[in-house]
Amino acid sequence: MESNFEPNIVGFLCKWCAYTGADLAGTSRIKYPPNVTPIRVMCSGRVDPVLVMKALSSGADGVLIAGCHPGDCHYTSGNVKTIRRFKLLQRMLTQFGIERDRVRLEWVSASEGERYAQVVENMTETLRTLGPLNWNGSKEA
Amino acid sequence: MAEKIGVYVCHCGTNIAQTVDCKRVVDYASALPNVTVAREYQYMCSDPGQELIKKDIKELGLTRVVVASCSPLMHEPTFRRAVEEAGLNQFLFEMANIREQCSWISENKEMATERAKSIVGAAVKRVEFQEPLDVKKVPVNPNVLIVGGGITGIEAALQIADSGKKVYLVEKEPTIGGYMARFDKTFPTLDCAACILTPKMVSVGQHPNIELLSYSDVTGFSGYVGNFTARIRRRAKYVEEEECSGCGLCTEKCPVSVPSEFDCGLGKRKAIYRPFPQAVPNVPVIDKDHCLYFTKGVCKVCQKFCPRGAINFEQKETYIDLQVGTAILATGFDLFDASKVKQYGYGRLPNVITSLEFERFSHASGPTGGKILLKNGQMPTSIAILHCIGSRDTNFNEYCSRVCCMYSMKIAHLAHEKTGARVYEFYIDIRAFGKGYEEFYKRILEEETTFIRGKAAEVTDVPQTPAEKGKLVVVAEDTLLGIVRRVPVDMVVLSVGFEPRKDTIETARIFSISRSQDGFFLERHPKLAPVSTASDGIFIAGACQGPKDIPDSVAQGAAAAANALSLIDRKEVTLEPTVAFIDEKSCSGCKICLGLCAYNAITFDETKKVSKVNDALCKGCGVCVAACPSGAIEQRNFTDNQLLAEVESICAAGK
Amino acid sequence: MANPKAAFYWAASCGGCEIAVLELGKALVDVSKKVDIVFWPVALDFKYSDVESMPDKSIDVCFFNGAIQTSENEHMAKLFREKSKILIAFGACANGGGIPALANTTTKEQIFTRVYKETPTTDNPKGVIPQTKVQVKEGELAIPEFYNTVRTLDQTVDVDYSVPGCPPVGEQVTAVMNDIVAGKLPPKGSVMGASDKSLCDECKRVKGDRKIKKIVRTYEIVPDTEKCLLDQGIICMGPATRGGCGAQCIDANMPCRGCYGAVPGVLDQGAKMLSALSSNFDAESEEEIEQIASGVTDPIGTFYRYTLARSLLRRTKA
């Protein structure tokens, strides 16, 4: 494992909470590793497991799904569906041999800039230790 | 035919350019497939910046535009407008956030530049899959729902009603007036609270455009901006409002006496009661839990004596639906529960009271007729006022409650006036920021109030010297003198801070709005949009948005009213068309989606055996899109292709 | 004019697709009058060398079933691509990897250890494992190489059409053959012999509210024959599986297991079914949701039973 490995993390952030919270981290000039490239969605409930699998199989080292805290979803219960899918997806990804820490579901409210920075920092550090996923490398004949 | 994409990288002054090498990002973008032109500029959101885009659309025939600058939550509307003005559909535009989520979060220029490239690349790939969409225009219902009849709600209601629009004012308590109705005097002018409040309350009660729904609450709220439906629960007062003349005979005759909530439990009220004499509406309610008829089946004295036959024990709770275009939440606050801070002895030691309890003592209509009295009926000769109870405290609430310094000094003044007692203020800082506030502070100093800079550590009744016997001793470090002091007093007033109301979580859920870290309702922008929320058409005002005094509450109430009126006078609003739609040819009728919609926007067509989305109800969350196993549902502007394009681009960029 | 030439080949497969063709019965006899079958291991005695000596593109249509798991499978796939005008991926294995692709949850080493050393009835005291080459006194003997990862036909060579199913149902096979003989060919890359919607479209059961409180295995209950199996807690892959098979399994009171592969436009059958199923778990709290999710004892085997080689992740971590 290279010592200067920088994890490439795909992030799915819901516009109302997580994306706004992530913006707040920036507005507050909080410094944290820029390893997550955010994809904005209206609700974490839009995140189809297919998108997560696509990211992992296309070279991402990890996927972060961030939405509103349970009970605070802008669309009432979108994040409940996210949890439902995530729990089953986690089971399946574990079966595939993908470490649990690589795909994370976190709740970040619109006012939690500090928390978003911590989540990203934490995830980046963990993935640095786990190393690159290199999923395409697994598909040998 | 291949798209022609224009990419514009903003410097944002030095905000982006200081950390991200914009030239490299431009070079990277230029080399991406289908990018016709890539430019950089100091301030893309400025007029010349926008002109660059418009010019290129017209002269180069651009079919897609990407602006890499700040967050879309900041300037997406700006650039969408610019693009439309140049003749390109606004949804053929995408923003790449390389400021809030890139340049501002990293000091490593190399990494930030690489990240910016990745973000721009994803936006460029995404925009290729974007399609023109038409925004939907909907009419705005001019009715306004105001939740909360305190001073803030009253202000908003009068402003809007005076403009000719209809207001539904929903208030939980039997009367409007909120906390202000319980205060004696208000700082810094020492106006009598009731004197300035009650005329406004009367105006509300009499205004032809205000429908006052008291003893009611909002149990449901649905729809979208300009077209909301509010479900209101009207609790049973057991008194017919139209018949009651407010004579008060029922209250006089009622044999049951219980502690009065209005008086913080210090005084009494009857089982049939008005919270205070100037209540609006001036109609009593029956407290079922204590009324002899409801608990034991006897009495009914009130009904016997009522000259208008207004008492109706059979009255039922009802639900009504109101159609409104906008809503203003002015639900106010709760006070911090002082019993949580055990070291001050509230609830345990006699004569340790809260600031509100002091107000009730001081009030002419209060439980003691305006006299400040100890438990033994005597007047205190010394009073300590402890600041920051529950505020500025990592154990409870970290924020400052903003009003307590001022009201503490007001209490000091009232204490001097009414008792001539020696008054001590134990403070951390004195926050006297408003108009006339500093002058008031000076006045209180001149009244020989003793200010001790040190938050009280404890209040004890265990004497250490003869002088302390029979007294309450306030122990505090006097930080200016550098010693720990023990100050014996007769009465301790705890200046409790503000907290969000306990039902804030429920209210936030009903209205689908967010709360800040501290639990108060979250404004759209703390400086530029303090009374709006992220949900169009729903506004917040007053203490429910954060602790504030009466002048600021009134200002916010008026501001929210202005916001609402602005929306209403536009006559119509545009809805984001980012809704779900089902392709009938692909829908297999599996019904997996039907139960997933929180807004019941999906129905099943039994003839065609396919599901359909009602796009007036669809709010565009995308939950059904992710669940559809046939891939038959797509979300406009958030299609699978668009999101996959972003994923692929980000993954490729990392290699 | 000469009859068109047809070939059938089986790679890593069970033989079911061959039986499906044989079961056409009389219809097969009719077809065989209009077509010259030049290669069909299960029925006719042609050799590989016969195929190798054919001119390129001389076979009009080749029905290739089975997944690519060995170097022999791969060689024949490439050979038939060269020699055939039209190459059809026939059956679930050729299209998605089928059951053989479940080998992608393990490794060649683990498979060989199990098969040649660990199974209870194996008597292999010296722990001999097959090698690709061995020297004997007569010379060198070689057997094909066994690959670690199973692939679909179109991951190996360019494919013209797909006929899905495990096996493709009889009526569909007849229809496909007749179309080909008649020259009625859809655009290249099309799926033939199947519907463009999911199985739910042709399933006659009554679809309820889809709320799933508990997942049950097929042996745990006797399913009601009128109600949708999913509503009864049984995982039926129907919603995420291409239809056209007549829902025969459903009629036998068994759930669809997904052998016709993904519905058109869906990138990954397993992930989509996972999403559709879990979205409707009837629980709000994390604990309750976890409880229901634990009822899926083998997610990969359930959601990717026939399409693991075609999925986005393709195999477990090597």
Instruction: Provide φ and ψ at A70, rounded to 5°.
Output: -55, 135
Interface of B with A in 247-306 (CB under 8 A): none
**Residue B558 dihedral angles phi and psi, to the nearest 5°:** -70, -40
Q: Cα separation of B414 and B396, whole Å?
A: 29
Contact A120, A33 (CB under 8 A): yes
Selecting from A31, A61, A76 the residue whose C-beta is nearest the C-beta of B106 gives A31
CB-CB under 8 Å, A15 with B108:
no
Distance from the B644 Cα atom to the nearest Cα atom in chain C, whole angstroms = 10
Buried b (16+ CB within 10 A) or exposed e, B166-176: bbbbbbbbbbb
Q: Which chains touch B (3 or more CB pairs under 8 A)?
A: A, C
Contact call for C300 and A56, based on CB within 8 A: no
Q: Using CA atoms, how far apart are residues B16 and B41, in angstroms rounded to an integer?
A: 11
Name the pairing type of β-strands B144-147 and B326-329: parallel
Q: Does C244 touch chain B (CB under 8 A)?
A: no
User: Between A and B, how many CB-CB pairs are < 8 A?
Assistant: 165
Count CB-CB contacts under 10 A for residue A15.
20
Asked whether the bond before B281 is cis by omega within 30 degrees of 0, the reply is: yes
- Residues sharing a CB contact under 8 Å with residue B38, sequence separation 6 or more, in sequence order: B6, B7, B8, B9, B26, B27, B29, B30
Q: Distance between CA atoms of B329 and B148, rounded to whole angstroms?
A: 7
Q: B111, B19 in Cβ contact below 8 A?
A: no
Topology of domain B5-135 in CATH is Rossmann fold (3.40.50)
Q: Is B588 on the interface with C (CB under 8 A)?
A: yes
Point out the residue among B97, B101, B598 whose CB comes nearest to the CB of A75: B598
CB C168 within 8 A of CB C18: no
pTM comes to 0.81
Cis preceding linkage at C264, omega within 30 = no
Q: Would you give the DSSP letter of residue B420?
A: -
Tens of pLDDT, residues B378-432? 999 999 999 999 999 999 999 999 999 999 999 999 999 999 999 999 999 999 9
Give B 503-532 residues with CB within 8 A of chain C: none
What architecture is the B144-331+501-569 domain classified under in CATH?
A: 3-Layer(bba) Sandwich (3.50)
Residue whose C-alpha is closest to residue C242's, from C200, C271, C303? C200
Distance CA B290, CA B575 (A): 50
Q: Do the Cβ atoms of C146 and C108 come closer than 8 Å?
A: yes
Q: Can you give the pLDDT at residue A137?
A: 58
Amino acid letter, B66: V
Hey, are the CB atoms on A26 and B100 less than 8 Å from each other? yes
Looking at every residue in chain B, the average pLDDT score rounds to 95
Q: What are the φ and ψ backbone dihedral angles of B249, each rounded to 5 degrees?
A: -65, -40
On whether any CB of chain B is under 8 Å from the CB of C201, the answer is: yes
Q: What is the spatial distance between Cα C136 and Cα B82, in angstroms, rounded to a whole number?
A: 80
CA of C174 vs chain B CAs: smallest distance (Å): 25
**Least reliable range by pLDDT among B361-365, B477-481, B526-530:** B526-530
Residue C29 to chain B, least CA–CA distance (Å): 36
Q: In the complex, which subunits touch C with 3 or more CB pairs below 8 angstroms?
A: A, B
CB contact under 8 A, B625 and A48: yes
Compare all CA atoms of chain A with the CA of B622 and give the residue at the minimum distance. A46
> Which of B586, B594, B626 faces C275 most closely, judged by CB atoms?
B626
Q: Which residue has the higher pLDDT, B272 or B535?
A: B272
Whole-number Cα distances in Å, B164 to A29, B141, B159: 46, 13, 9
State the helix-helix crossing angle for B640-653 and B109-128, rounded to 10 degrees: 150
Interface test mutation site (partner B, options A2, A36, A42, max chain B beta carbons within 10 A): A42
Decide if B144-331+501-569 and B580-635 have a common fold.
no
Beta strands in B60-190 (DSSP E): 64-69, 93-97, 136-139, 144-147, 167-170, 185-186
Report the residue of C196, C198, C211 to disrupt the B interface, i.e. the one with the largest count of B CBs within 10 Å: C198
Q: Min CA distance, C147 vs chain A (Å)?
A: 6
Average pLDDT over residues B551-578: 95
pLDDT of A1 higher than 60: no
Query: What integer pLDDT is reported at residue B528 of this predicted model?
Result: 84
Cα–Cα distance between B633 and B621 in angstroms, integer?
A: 12
On the 0-12 / 13-18 / 19+ scale of CB atoms within 10 A, B642 is buried
CA angle C144, C146, C147 (to 5 degrees): 130
Contact B594 C198 (CB under 8 A): no
Q: Is the pLDDT of residue A141 over 60?
A: no
Min CA distance, B654 vs chain A (Å)? 6
Rounded alpha-carbon distances, angstroms, from residue B591 to A44, B99, B623, C82, C122: 22, 42, 14, 45, 50
How is domain B334-499 classified at the architecture level of CATH? 3-Layer(bba) Sandwich (3.50)
| Topology at the third CATH level for domain B580-635 | Alpha-Beta Plaits (3.30.70)
Q: Out of A81, A83, A89, name the one closest to residue C274 (CB).
A: A89
Nearest 5°: CA angle at C214, between C212 and C219?
A: 115
Residue with the larger pLDDT of the pair A72 and B585:
B585
On the question of pLDDT at C161 being above 50, the answer is yes
Beta strand residue intervals within B298-394, DSSP E: 318-324, 326-329, 333-335, 352-354, 382-389
Amino acid, single-letter form, for residue B268: K
- Smallest CA-to-CA distance from C311 within C140, C97, C129, C64 is with C97
Within an 8 Å CB–CB cutoff, is residue B33 touching chain C?
no
pLDDT at C318: 73
Q: Which amino acid is at C18?
A: E
Q: Where are the domains of chain B?
A: 5-135, 144-331+501-569, 334-499, 580-635
Cβ contacts below 8 Å, chain A against chain C, sum to 96
Under 8 Å CB pairs connecting chains B and C tally to 74
Question: Would strands B35-41 and B5-10 be described as parallel, antiparallel, or unpaired?
Answer: parallel
Q: How confident is the model at residue A74 (pLDDT cuts 50, 70, 90)?
A: confident
Question: Are the C-beta atoms of residues B60 and B6 closer than 8 Å to each other?
Answer: yes
Reported as a pLDDT band with limits 50, 70 and 90, residue C29 is confident
Report residue A2's pLDDT band, with 50, 70 and 90 as the boundaries: low
Question: B389-402 in b/e burial notation, b at 16+ Cβ within 10 A?
Answer: bbbbbeebbebbbb
Omega before C167 within 30 of 0, i.e. cis = yes
What is the rounded distance in angstroms from the CA atom of residue B207 to the CA atom of residue B156?
13
Confidence check: pLDDT of C202 > 80: yes
Query: In whole angstroms, what is the distance from residue C152 CA to residue C311 CA?
Result: 10
Mean pLDDT of B441-453: 94
Whether residue B221 contacts residue B327, with contact meaning beta carbons closer than 8 Å, is answered with yes
Which residue do the tokens 């007549």 mark?
C246
* Percent of residues, chain C, with pLDDT higher than 70: 100
Cβ neighbours around C301 below 10 Å, total:
16
- B520 contacts on A by Cβ (under 8 Å): none
What is the average per-residue pLDDT within B301-318? Answer: 95
Task: Give B-chain residues touching A43 at CB under 8 angstroms.
Answer: 621-623
**B87 vs C316: CA distance, rounded Å:** 50
CA distance B609 to chain A (A): 25
Mutate to test the interface with B, among C195, C201, C203 (most CBs of B within 10 A): C201
DSSP string, B8-23: EEE-TTTTTTTTS-HH
Distance, CA of C111 to CA of C196 (rounded, Å): 37
Q: Do B71 and A26 touch (CB under 8 A)?
A: yes
Nearest by CB: C290 against A87, A92, A97? A87
Burial of A71 (0-12, 13-18, 19+ CB in 10 A): middle
Select from B585, B629, B644 the Cβ nearest to the Cβ of C239.
B629
Residue A2: CB atoms within 10 A of its CB come to: 7
Inter-chain contact C272–B596, Cβ cutoff 8 Å?
A: no
Q: What are phi and psi of B407, to 5 degrees?
A: -75, -30
Sequence-distant (6+) residues with CB within 8 A of C212 are C230, C233, C277, C280, C281, C282, C292
Whether residue B118 and residue A37 make contact (CB cut-off 8 A), yes or no, is yes
* Nearest C-alpha neighbor of A69 from the set A59, A54, A80: A80
Report CB contact under 8 Å: B105, A61.
no
Average pLDDT on C255-270 reads 96
Q: How far is B625 from chain C (nearest CA, A)?
A: 10
> Which of A83, A39, A75 has the alpha carbon at shortest distance from A60?
A39
Query: Would you tell me which residues 135-194 of chain B have a C-beta closer than 8 angstroms to some C-beta of chain A?
Result: none
- CB distance A37–B115 less than 8 Å? yes
Closest by Cα among B196, B535, B155, B182 to B330: B155
Rounded to 10°, the helix B404-419/B437-446 angle is 40
Nearest to A109 by CA among A34, A23, A33, A41: A23
Give yes or no for B643 touching C (CB within 8 A).
no
Q: How far is residue C25 from each of residues C19, C22, C89, C177, C247, measured CA to CA in Å? A: 10, 6, 22, 14, 22
> C265, B631: Cβ pair inside 8 Å?
yes
Tell me which chain A residue has its CA closest to the CA of residue C314.
Answer: A139
Which is more confident, C23 or A44?
A44
Nearest to B231 by CA among B306, B307, B314, B323: B323
Nearest to B357 by CA among B340, B375, B341: B375
Q: A132 contacts in C (CB within 8 Å)? A: none
Please, which residues bridge with residue A41 across strands?
A: A14
Concatenating the DSSP letter of every residue in C242-263 gives: B--STTHHHHTT-----TT-PP
Q: Say if residue B583 is exposed, middle or buried (CB neighbours under 10 Å; 0-12, 13-18, 19+).
A: middle
Residue entry with tokens 């609006």: B280
